[in-house]
Homo-oligomer: A and B are copies of this chain.
Amino acid sequence: MKLPDKSTSLEAAVARIPDGATVLVGGFGVPGTPFSLIRELQRQGQKDLTLVKNDANEAGMGIDHLLASGQVKKLIVTHLGLNANAIAMMNDARLEVEFCAQGILAERIRAGGAGIPAILTDIGIGTELALGKQVVEMNGKPLLVEPALRADVALIHADRADPFGNLAYAATARNFNPPMAMAATIVIAEAERLLPLGDLSPEEVETPGAFVDQVVELPEISEDYGVVRR
């Protein structure tokens, strides 16, 4: 036995995304955002996408390109604070936005990746984020049912990968990438370095390759990934 090889090109990997797909996109601000996969998705032009991401990046960066190109029907995020374009589109009803508490978004995606249909939580009770949600009593206490969020596709940014799809991340570029890398039918990871099988130690792997479908080595680390001087 040997482990399957899942390495491919940016173009081939992104071509697997159909119109209308729900797509998990890693990243919290710049770190961990799969800028190259996003740009290829913009280039290929798939439409009617639902994106799930912590934030909408900043104007002119990352998924803002997909918003600007009209490829996005709906956004599920925790905040849009840094992207005035996204806020304007939401206010003009050109973009449907669903807000989720940050840790609950992470938990819903994790549940999707863990084959858990839903979690029960008290987070958001007493706020407008609880409106319309199913309530269950446990030990006499009301709890919200937060359903798992599993997607068609996940776009992941890793620091290191091997051809089987084992992934490791850098510093705070982890954020939503590890849970998202377990929670989609097609998990596509871009990696800054694609190492030969065996060069990532089994201890160092943070996302086991068994969850990952396609690995793409980035030909270059573009300016998108750099330090942002505000």
Contacts and interface: CB of A to CB of B under 8 A. Distances in A.
A145 B141 CA distance: 14
A89 interface: no
A119 interface: yes
A114 B138 CA distance: 17
A52 to B, nearest CB: 19
Contacts of A91: none
A171 B116 contact: no
A143 interface: yes
A122 interface: yes
A124 to B, nearest CB: 13
Interface string A127-145: 0000000101010010101
Contact of A118 (B119, B168, B170): B119
A111 interface: yes
A117 B136 CA distance: 11
A220 interface: no
Interface string A180-213: 0000000000000000000000111000000000
Contact of A134 (B134, B138, B203, B204): B138
Interface string A101-134: 0000001000100101111111000000000001
Contacts of A119: 111, 116, 118-120
A70 interface: no
Contacts of A203: 168, 170-171
A147 interface: yes
Nearest to A202: B171
Nearest to A145: B138
Contacts of A117: 120-122, 138, 141, 143
Nearest 8 pairs between A and B by C-beta? A118-B120, A116-B119, A117-B120, A136-B136, A119-B119, A117-B143, A118-B138, A116-B121
Given A111-B119, A119-B119, A120-B120, 15 more contacts: A107-B116, A116-B119, A116-B121, A117-B120, A117-B122, A117-B138, A117-B141, A117-B143, A118-B138, A119-B120, A134-B138, A136-B145, A168-B203, A171-B202, A171-B203
